[in-house]
Chain A
């Protein structure tokens, strides 16, 4: 029984020593990454070159905004009469030295 145990312990110690040696030698450092599996050549060839570029649809011009209805025009006119409280954008000021 004792013999069996000693054999197992010796085997385990041998495995550990082997592992330690392999780490020290660093067998995996120069490993080249595996290439991605190449796509089957048949499929690549089957796709026509022109079709690889998605077809560019002609840019559709946005439809012109419909002209304001008489009611909308009246609302704008009335808004002006009640005070145009929209804020004017700031006029660009010419560069000038500090004053």
Chain B
């Protein structure tokens, strides 16, 4: 429920933000991820920059490898023209200047395919999952010296299944685009089982462009195979799978293929910000799809729906570690929420705060704080999962269970509400002699607040994915609820390049 006022001068947790260092999750920071984020110390003296690495001229064979790799940069959603020097001959020897330009292009490519095109120092505040800075020149020099340029280049991109699946998806959606894409289905009334409508044929054609199981031919009557194809499409878009094509489903179907290609490219870019390895036990959150998964021994063992921050109160991308489970947590209301939402309600309806179990806590020389008592009506429900972060956000229970029945679940003030907090608490505390399920039950009989510290902190990654391959291998898309795909593509200059970005 916590909030963070970072935009428009809102008062929130800006102070905390100023006091805590951002979390680097790049290769060099992996080992630190199970530790709490340390408070920023006084800036250490900057070490002198290492001397520039001098890379010898590429041999003819190495130049061919470099050219081939740079020409194929679009397989990674990058633009070959950003790396290939102009005017290179197709065959024949390169001039020294061309050789130098090609090497410089290779260094830029290696940087971008490994950690992305965003400058790590220029990430927006809410995008705390960032790669460590990377200078490819020393690695390139080593690879050239050891005669393994191709192998080095092949190993630069993320090796996660999620990235590899997006790479395949990019090829496939570009093929769809090259074949003419799909036409928008005209708006009109609902299409459902039994409907007879001239638009049914267009719907069939549209679905079959993405779904190999969808019927390609048929009449103008909405039949059972078509309904099944609609349900599959709705699942791929995270919509209610009712098999009825209303305005919502139609809006998703009518997104042009170029838009989907850009979404894939934006998500591939985010994969490059991930650490090169993940801890075997971890909690992963996708705030874009509002889903949480617990991995143990690198396998998903528990998952649940979530409610993430709404537009304007976006859940930040964070890498941290859960250090404790608070049972029966009170809610210390952030100042912004108190000022913008609760005090106006109290003024309009005196007694509102008391009726909802809020306590006014005087603050010497300042505005009083609000705290909601623990218990069934607490906005944090019965469980809170604490981890250090600059935004005072956390995972927690909620008394508003109805929010999990929705398909667009971006409704919180930035925290992540969990559908099955008890199951997550038991999984994280498993093996703890004190906090057995019976002990948790006993604690829940009352409203007393207790903090159960985890014997081993569990890393948590709050990420933002809007394009991913499902378990069936098909591409799934979400609506980009925070508009971060667009912002990312603009920041890396991928929008100007069109769909072949």
Contacts and interface: CB of A to CB of B under 8 A. Distances in A.
Looking at A77, A84, A86, A87, which has the most chain B CB atoms within 10 Å of its CB? A84
Nearest to A73: B471
Interface in B148-189: 148-151, 154, 159-162, 164-165
A93 interface: yes
B300 A76 contact: yes
A88 to B, nearest CB: 5
B62 interface: yes
Nearest to B150: A99
Nearest to B166: A84
B408 to A, nearest CB: 14
Interface string A73-87: 111111111111111
A79 B303 contact: yes
Majority DSSP secondary structure for residues of A touching B:
loop
Contacts of A99: 61-62, 65, 147-150
Contacts of A75: 293, 300-303
A81 B289 contact: yes
Given A75-B300, A96-B150, A99-B65, A88 B470 contact: no
A79 B161 CA distance: 12
Contacts of A88: 159-161, 164
Contact of B471 (A80, A96, A97, A98): A80
A82 B160 contact: no
A79 B295 contact: yes
B284 A85 contact: yes
A84 B301 contact: no
Interface in A1-48: none
A81 to B, nearest CB: 5
A83 B287 CA distance: 11
A80 B236 CA distance: 12
Contacts of A79: 284, 293, 295, 300, 303, 471
Which of A78, A85, A88, A93 gathers most chain B CB within 10 Å?
A85
B385 interface: no
Interface string B288-303: 0101110100101111
A80 B278 contact: no
B274 interface: yes
B303 A83 contact: no
A55 to B, nearest CB: 40
A96 B470 CA distance: 35
Interface string B269-291: 00100100110001011100101
B4 interface: no
Nearest to A86: B161
B382 interface: no
A84 B160 contact: yes
B383 interface: no
A74 B61 CA distance: 49
A80 B4 CA distance: 29
Q: Which of B154, B160, B301 gathers the greatest number of chain A CB atoms within 10 Å?
A: B160
B61 A84 contact: no
Interface of A: 73-88, 90, 93, 96-99
Given A81-B293, A83-B468, A99-B150, 8 more contacts: A78-B291, A78-B300, A81-B289, A83-B162, A85-B274, A87-B277, A98-B147, A99-B61
